[in-house]
Amino acid sequence: MSQSASFGVNYKKTFTGTESPVPASLMTVGSLTEGEFVFVQADGAIDQYGFVKIEADGQAAMLTTTNAGSQGLLVGVAQVAAADNEYLWVWVGGLNGGGSGSGIKGKLAASYAAKANLFTTATAGVADDASTTKISYVVGLTTNTGAAAVELFSVGHLKVN
């Protein structure tokens, strides 16, 4: 992965690659005050605020317990919905990434308790505090009483542990 400054990082937009050149190469890392982002291509539809697995070739797909794969798999959170084959920046956390008031959110299950560890679920793109495959270095900041997006906070790059 190569590192990029904040120029070109627009995590609220998708790119088709046909209307103009894409702003970065796959797996480029960009930094903003909200944390770090990786430029990926959607391997299937991705929901807004959905957790995604990021493969070494830059392909991102909605994360589930089934496709969580091996330890160390990079995990991101899409801040915008994307169609199959569209390009987008996904939030991968970083030191002090996200946080209260940052607007960085992830889909969490209805029973999630604030600041609990996050784990994969059978529901694509949704994380919870029920113990399955752990998503390291990230927590939701508030209790979720209905399936919704919750602000996230990270202390490192999100990965499957």
Q: How many domains does the chain have?
A: 1
Domain coverage including residue 99: 3-160
pLDDT confidence of residue 7? 61
What pLDDT, on a 0 to 100 scale, did the predictor assign at position 147? 64
Instruction: Indicate if the pLDDT at residue 1 is higher than 60.
Output: no
**Mean pLDDT over each residue of the chain, to the nearest integer:** 93
Q: If 0-12 CB within 10 Å is exposed, 13-18 middle and 19+ buried, where does residue 31 land?
A: middle
What local confidence, expressed as pLDDT, does residue 19 receive? 76
For 69-122, the pLDDT digits (tens) are 877 899 999 999 999 999 999 999 999 999 999 999 999 998 899 999 999 999
CA 74 – CA 72 distance, rounded (Å):
6
36 has pLDDT over 60: yes
